[in-house]
Amino acid sequence: LDPVLAIIGRPNVGKSTLVNRILGRREAVVEDTPGVTRDRVMYSATWNGRNFTVVDTGGWEHDARGIHARVAEQAEMAVELADAVLFVVDSAVGATATDEGVMKMLRKSKKPVIMVANKVDDFAQEADSATLWGLGFGEPYPVSALHGRGVADLLDHVMDTL
């Protein structure tokens, strides 16, 4: 069985774009406005000759409990089935109140978590990701899922972790 990498984070941070970048094909649904109903989708991926499974999460239909609970639910799923978790934030926004509870749970789980600062489209934005040091997950990886910037470094690190 291939190791499983789960991608979690709030809506619109670029999880599905990152999944597509990892796959090298446009398979995950990217939404400019949230509203897709699928909860999680698994894809087969390869990096440096090693196979792994990527789980995209989302399905960000705000249900009655609100987005807070939905993100927490996805994180719990990730902790259960994943061998490693990519925790994605929008670098311009950083970690939010919604992320706090999720991070607490992830820390407790002792699963390997890699912080990803997405939407770092150019060098000037790289400083934004430095604020993610100190959250307790080690080195943050600044990437641009949209342009591919930093994704190879991230995947090298993922493969060391899986």
In the list Mg ion, ligand GDP, none, the entry touching 21 (Cβ below 5 to 8 angstroms by class) is none
CB 102 within 8 A of CB 94: no
59 is a site residue for ligand GDP (CB under 6 A): no
Amino acid, res. 136: G
Could you tell me the sign of the dihedral formed by the alpha carbons of 111, 36, 54, 140, in that order?
negative
Q: For residue 59, say whether it is annotated as part of any ligand binding site.
A: yes
Contact flag: residue 73 with ligand GDP (CB under 6 A): no
Range 41-46, long-range pairs (CB < 8 A, 24+ positions) = 42/4, 43/19, 44/2, 45/5
Q: 29 and 37 in contact (C-beta within 8 Å)?
A: no
Query: How near is the Cβ of 130 to Mg ion at its closest, in Å?
Result: 26
> Which one of ligand GDP, Mg ion, none interacts with residue 145, CB within 5 to 8 A by kind?
ligand GDP
- Using CB under 6 A, list all residues that contact ligand GDP: 9, 11-17, 30-32, 58, 118-119, 121, 144-146
Binding residues: 9-16, 56-60, 118-121
Residues within the annotated binding site for GTP? 9-16, 56-60, 118-121
